[in-house]
Amino acid sequence: MPFPRSCDTFVVLPPLTKKNVVIFGKNSDRPQNEVQEVVLIKDRAKEGKLKCTYIAIDESPNPINHVILSKPAWMWGAEMGANDKGVVIGNEAVWTNHNEGDGDARAKRLLGMDYVRLGLERGNSAEDALDVITSLLEKYGQGGPCSEFDDSHFYHNSFLIADPKEAWILETSGKLWAAEKIPAGYRNISNGLTIRTKIDKHSEGLKEKAEVMGLWDGKGEFDFTEAFSSGGDEDRQRAGERLLREGSASAAFDARDMFNVLRHKASSICRSCDDTFPTLGSQVSSLSAEGLSVHWFTATPDPSVSYFKPFVFTPNAQISPYTESSNEPKREHHLYTLHAQHVLNSNNEKISKVLREIEEGCLNEISEVIRKYDAKKLNLTELDDLMKKCVETEVKLYG
């Protein structure tokens, strides 16, 4: 099976960011014509068993976090998202040389996208979400078709998990895993294993199992990528790293800089809708430990011709139903349909320019809100329908 070259996830941390925040970004590249919806899930009812995309698992005994998700409309899980505790997660497809038994990704188990949602629903910090995912991975494994209409599209997963204080890279092969803590600087992942010898957490008996499987000779320092990788997109990985290095050189990296990274065409980080695996949704999050965390979603394909709309978790937060897909065959939500008609299919540069101007206005307004934000007053009412208003503005633009 040829490996799709798609998906990138990024993080930039202090001291390289403006106002000491953590900036997260992800492009979700998926099969052509798949619709990605943005949904807000609050106070999800708990039942005895939780039905995920393919299998049912034990429900969490703890309270479920509120989450906003950018997800393929047909599945339970999500490509990326955030929770009301300040945690964000994005996942990537990876291919490894452990493909039998627990490593057989064809078997219907939990998808990597299911783990994104589970980590957000149950994790109250980046490391907590990491522990949630790995404990469930060791119990249930991973696998199953990752496309609604293509049973040959399956893989293992890597994850970038962040909160306002730190980030973690989690890379897996079947039920085996390794994790690396990223306390500062920048990091990106792009459909290939990247964890080498700096392993801060790992599955029990990882090295011994690798040796038994003939993937490591037991000599020298253990290298997770060298042992388990069966290939990846090294060119895009290097291009993403270069963009982060250049963008953070002034130590003032912000959400706008991450927008630019996700819109980069020459590197194939941003993929047009005529690509085999186009960019169907994008997320950027600015995570603050003491101030206001803001999450930006396109909810439409190709960020170079879409605009990022802001969302903030407030006690009464809401988003527009126009980004939630219907159950009709194409699963298109209203904003997706209008964007396709007026932007993607018509190559309407005038509308694209207006969208970018609206986005710039949102960035400036959010910057002013953050500047004036006083956590002690906790008056966030004016932000309850922030994303809803932005979506409705876009819908009105299309007439």
Report pLDDT digits (tens) over 95-105. Answer: 999 999 999 99
CB 178 within 8 A of CB 189: no
User: d(Cα 56, Cα 207) in Å, to the nearest integer?
Assistant: 31
Residues pairing with 110 in the sheet: 142
Question: By mean pLDDT, which of 169-173, 237-241, 351-355 is the weakest?
Answer: 351-355
- Residue 378's pLDDT is 66
Give the CATH number of the domain where residue 210 resides.
3.60.60.10
Residue 3 forms part of a structural domain: no
DSSP structural state of residue 4: P
Residue 204 has a pLDDT of 97
* pLDDT digits 0-9 by tens, 324-379: 999 888 999 999 999 999 998 877 788 989 999 999 999 999 999 988 887 666 67
| 103 in any annotated domain | yes
Q: Is the pLDDT of residue 186 over 50?
A: yes
Q: What is the pLDDT of residues 297-330, one digit of tens each?
A: 999 999 999 999 999 999 999 999 999 999 888 9
Share of the chain above pLDDT 70, in %: 98
User: Domain containing 213: what range?
Assistant: 8-397
Report the pLDDT averaged over residues 182-190: 97
Rounded CA separation 8/240 (Å): 8
Q: Residue 31: pLDDT above 80?
A: yes
Answer whether residue 5 shows pLDDT above 50: yes
Distance of CA 266 to the CA centre of its chain: 21
Mean pLDDT of the region 165-174: 98
**Residue 309 to residue 321: CA distance in whole angstroms:** 14
Is 2 domain-assigned? no
pLDDT score recorded for residue 375:
66
Of residues 32 and 5, the one with the higher pLDDT is 32
pLDDT recorded at residue 1: 44
- Is residue 12 domain-resident? yes
Give the pLDDT of residue 312: 97
Tell whether 310 is covered by a domain.
yes
Closest by alpha carbon to 46, among 57, 54, 36, 35? 57
Q: Residue 179's pLDDT band (boundaries 50, 70, 90)?
A: very high
Q: How many residues does the chain have?
A: 399
pLDDT the model gives residue 122: 98
Tens digits of per-residue pLDDT, 65-95? 999 999 999 999 999 999 999 999 999 999 9
Residues with Cβ < 8 Å from 238, sequence gap 6 or more?
none
- Cis upstream peptide for 321 (omega within 30°): no
Task: Find residue 53's DSSP bridge partners.
Answer: none
Decide if 191 is inside a domain: yes
What percentage of the chain exceeds 90 in pLDDT? 87
Measured CA to CA, the distance from residue 317 to residue 305 in angstroms comes to: 27
User: 234 — phi, psi (to 5°)?
Assistant: -70, -30
Residue 131 located in a structural domain: yes
Is 7 annotated in the active site? Answer: yes
Q: Which of 299, 298, 293 has the alpha carbon at shortest distance from 313?
A: 293
| 1 falls within a domain | no
Could you tell me the pLDDT band of residue 243, with boundaries at 50, 70 and 90? very high
- Rounded CA-CA distance 158/161 in Å is 10
Confidence of residue 4 (pLDDT cuts 50, 70, 90): low
For the chain, give the mean pLDDT.
Answer: 95
Strand partners, 28: 281
Taking alpha carbons only, the member of 10, 81, 18, 58 closest to residue 367 is 18
32 — pLDDT class (breaks 50, 70, 90): very high
> Could you give the CA distance from residue 132 to residue 118 in angstroms, rounded to a whole number?
8
For 121, phi and psi rounded to 5 degrees?
-65, -30
What is the count of structural domains for the chain? 1
166 neighbors 21 (Cβ within 8 angstroms): no
